[in-house]
Amino acid sequence: MIPNHADFSDMLARWARERPTGIAINFGDTHRSWAELAERVQRVAAGLRAAGLKPNDRIAVLDLNHPSCLELTLACAQTGCANAVVNFRLAPPEIAYVINDSKARILFVGPEFAGAVEQLRAHLPAVERVIRIGGADDEYEAWVAAHAPDANIHPAKGGDCFVQLYTSGTTGFPKGAMLTHHGMLAHARNVAVSQTMDGGSRVQVAMPLFHVGGTSYALVAWSAGAPIYMMRMPDPAAALAMLDREKITHTFYVPALMAAMTQVPGADRHDYSSLQALSYGASPMPLPVMRACLKLFPKGVMQQVYGMTEESGVVTILGPEDHENPAVAHRLVSAGKVIHGVEIEIRDPASGAVMPTGQSGEIWVRSEQVMGGYWGKPEATEAALTPDGWYRSGDGGHMDADGYVYVTDRIKDMI
């Protein structure tokens, strides 16, 4: 269970106070305790304030996974700013679009992308400063060390955005989903309850932090007081070795990574007995890959999840029992049932009327996990969020009599 954190600054302060020497994050040779993480976040917050950033301002991070991105996200929570994490897989014009759309005043960039940013620099008018993270030209560590810890906390409201993740852009340019303290804490509680995650868990973060499967998943773990074991890139052999070496209890993958895992030589020689929940999602799982994974990993751990950025992450889970019971094998093509705290209805996309059981329509979701809206796009926000709290997902599907959701297509025209 997750304590009743007031916001993410309260969460960090709680664990720094209650378990100061407990490990919060493991990343390669870097191991930071909760107390160390809290001090670094206060230094980063001081750096943001010294740069003149004010509540509702944005920063952006363009990097592979690195602890600095999460430090910056928590520092934004403390200062009232928001971290717009950029999808590094986008083409340079799209990267420029996202950075400009966010109006980020400081851009933090990893060594792999420093050259691209130099070429784009003249096309990023809002960016006042670029700070390099890691590599031979690292500037981030000196910037952090140059500022004394600032313990002042911006009085956050539940609806304040502190992290901004961009949609996949299936209906045009990506949109910045404003994820809030209230929504992300609700998601953390709901997922932790559904996956029995607590302070004794050991959570692997293998997915990129620009995705809810990275940042949101990491914040679920931290909300529960669990340490995270973060990978810079989702490498199949390294991820499997980490499961064994670090006795990981919870992880999240995409099917493409799991397909690659089944082809890793010696994959079946690792010990995966510590696993309690191996979640996967974001794309369909081919049946042959699923069968190979059910053979590779322990019984009772495979969970398919369905979700979206606009709902802070997960909204349904197909549990282990539905993966392993031949009598309900037809459910393997479903997205499972709603998690704790989430409602789903199938609606007529034109009229909004609730569709009869088994009939197809648009998947509508209602929960406290919902985003605050799309950054700078009031019309798109109004089109996606109804006055009574429903999010229109744009996904087509149906629900059977047992409450299992089947996702079939996109209602919105894909570009």
Per-residue b or e along 344-379, where b marks 16 or more CB atoms closer than 10 Å to that residue's CB: bebbebeeeeebeeeebbbbbbbbbbbbbbbbeeee
pTM of the model: 0.96
Q: So what's the pLDDT on residue 47?
A: 99
Name, in order, each residue with C-beta under 8 angstroms of 239's C-beta and a sequence gap of 6 or more: 204, 206, 231, 251, 253, 257, 261
CATH topology of domain 8-180: Rossmann fold (3.40.50)
pLDDT of residue 413: 39
| Structure confidence at residue 1 as a pLDDT band (50, 70, 90) | confident
Convert the pLDDT of each residue in 355-364 to its tens digit: 999 999 999 9
Residue range 112-121: average pLDDT?
Answer: 97
Alpha helices, H only, 310-391: 320-324, 378-384
